Copies of this chain bind each other. A is one copy, B any other.
Amino acid sequence: MALSKLLSLVEKNLKDSAPFLAGIKERPSSLRLGITGPPGAGKSSLINCLVEIYRSKSLKVAILAVDPSSPFSGGAILGDRVRMGSHGEDKGVYIRSLGSRGGFGGLNASTGAMATILEAVGFDVVIIETVGVGQTELQVMNLADAVAVILVPESGDVIQTLKAGILEIADIFVVNKADRPGAEVLFNELQSLVDMEGEKNREVLLTSVTKNEGLPVFAESLLSYAKNLRVKKRLAPERLRRELENLVLWTLAENLNSKISKLRITNVYSAFEKFKIPK
């Protein structure tokens, strides 16, 4: 309860929380795992399995599930929170769904702040889940130490996947629902892609939640990628800059929104022409 309140407070007042967040000392042992993939790839079920496995090793696990905001209702439909409910009684598991309040880096900004806090209060593993087809959702993966892209035979041909930029962010490809027809073909396609890259630093795995196959290997592999990549990814200058940019832009967007909501606009470009852009 206290944790949820703290997270909400920080989410709502990022700028005011900056001194507090800046004072948090990083625990080098805590890891951020990114899980992404198209809708229907079975991400939530896989995460459920990961949580079970990590819990059996006494690791404390937090999950930040990013549900795209509905542009009409402004709210997120908490499908994941419901489906991942089986850990509801376990105090070593914390689950939070994040709506994204219209973009502008806000999702990135608040997800980053929350992960920082969750690590500080003792979670060993923070799993960040997004529906990885949109660019906002993919950008959130930059916060993770290692990223698993979950695909299924039905995910569409590789060109379509490439288009979404999702291939580049993967450290591990998981072909889930491996018992379905087409799984092997997809596995081989991804394997050749990975082989082509020369330095062998990405991996392709097969999993099936229903048949309970490949899950411990996936859990172990993802942790070990995160351990190895943690410093390299988390302290990358480009990533730090992007995170700062997200924080600043989100604050600007909030200020701007209250300004613009008072305007009466007839021609957008006339209004834009007259709008004084702060330096």
Which stretch (A52-60, A157-165, A199-207, A224-232) binds chain B? A157-165
Instruction: Tell me if A277 and B260 are in contact (CB < 8 A).
Output: no
Within 8 A of B (CB), among A244-279: 244-245, 247-249, 251-253, 255-257, 260-261, 263-273, 275, 277-279
Contacts of A245 in B (CB 8 A): 253, 256-257, 260
The answer to whether the Cβ of A104 comes within 8 Å of any Cβ in the partner chain is yes
Q: Does A156 contact B (CB under 8 A)?
A: yes
A117 CA / B136 CA spacing, docked (Å):
27
Q: Within 8 Å CB of A21, what residues of B?
A: 269, 272
Q: Give the Cβ gap from A183 to chain B, nearest Cβ, in Å.
A: 14
Contact with B along A51-71 (1 / 0, CB 8 A): 000000000000000011111
Chain B residue, CB-CB nearest to A135 = B68
CB distance from A170 to the nearest CB of B (A): 11
Q: Mark A101-114, 1 if CB is under 8 A from B, else 0.
A: 01111000000110
CB neighbours (8 Å) of A19 from chain B are 269, 273
Interface membership of A34, Cβ < 8 A: no
Q: Which chain B residue has the least Cβ–Cβ distance from A274?
A: B18
Inter-subunit contact B275/A278 (CB<8 Å): no
A248 x B263 contact (CB < 8 A): no
Q: Which of B15, B71, B260 contacts A135 (CB 8 A)?
A: B71
9 sampled A-B residue pairs with Cβ under 8 A: A22-B272, A38-B133, A39-B160, A40-B160, A71-B141, A71-B165, A135-B136, A244-B272, A249-B252
